[in-house]
Amino acid sequence: MLAGYGAYTLKSKTQKRRIALLGTHLAQFQVEKLMENLTQGYLRALGEKDAERQTQIWNLLASSEQDLCDQFDRFVAGFAKDVGDEDARVSTFPVFIPEAHRFFPDKTFDMRRLLAVHAQGIRGVAGQDAGSSPKSRAFMLSAELFLMQHSCHWYCRSRTVASGRMLARHHTSYAQLLASVSPETRRAYGAVVGT
């Protein structure tokens, strides 16, 4: 019983520290606000019946996409600079295991590398040429953003909790996210997390 209580306490302490660490870095930027504005803007554009008005909305969203890319790049650079190896390690076990990075180092990945993959993926999709459909870009960029959000939840809690939150909040499974991001992101993501 004491061992179970000790493990629970260590798990809670570690998760709170990770939430605070990630939150401190994110608080310096407007990444979450820009994500929310973009996803709502995409829905508004897709629901607009007037083609001219829809084009205006897509054009307005392009500047928000650029702002998000710039802010996220700065967040990733700051996180990579300030967070040490131990705090950057994330367990690949489906549930949170305290100190997994110490006991099972081969079952972890580096969150700094994963955030860099997300930054490249977001910027790559946002910067696609004008020949791509705004609807398909919006769909793929939303998937890139949601997968990044999944990674942040995974870092703070576990892969299982992250997947459950994604399903509850966005009605999207982890497998759907992976299938919906760009092929470049999917490959780079798999190389980091080992899928």
**CB–CB of 128/188 below 8 Å?**
no
pLDDT (tens digit per residue) in 83-104: 999 999 999 998 888 778 778 8
**CA–CA distance, 155 with 95 (Å, rounded to integer):** 11
Query: Quick one: pLDDT at residue 96?
Result: 80
Which one is predicted more confidently, 83 or 3? 83
pLDDT (tens digit per residue) in 143-178: 999 999 999 999 999 999 999 999 999 999 999 999
Query: Quick one: pLDDT at residue 99?
Result: 77
**CA–CA distance, 32 with 39 (Å, rounded to integer):** 11
**CB–CB of 83/155 below 8 Å?**
no
**CA–CA distance, 125 with 184 (Å, rounded to integer):** 10
Provide, rounded to the nearest whole percent, the portion of the chain with pLDDT above 70. 93
Provide, rounded to the nearest whole percent, the portion of the chain with pLDDT above 90. 76
* Global pTM value: 0.91
Averaged pLDDT for residues 123-139: 83
Torsional sign, CA 24, 36, 109, 76: negative
**CA–CA distance, 167 with 150 (Å, rounded to integer):** 10
Look-up of token digits 């829809």? 54
User: CB-based contacts of 112: which residues, under 8 Å, 6+ apart?
Assistant: 76, 79, 80, 83, 88
pLDDT (tens digit per residue) in 28-61: 999 999 999 999 999 999 999 999 999 999 999 9
Look-up of token digits 């993926």? 121
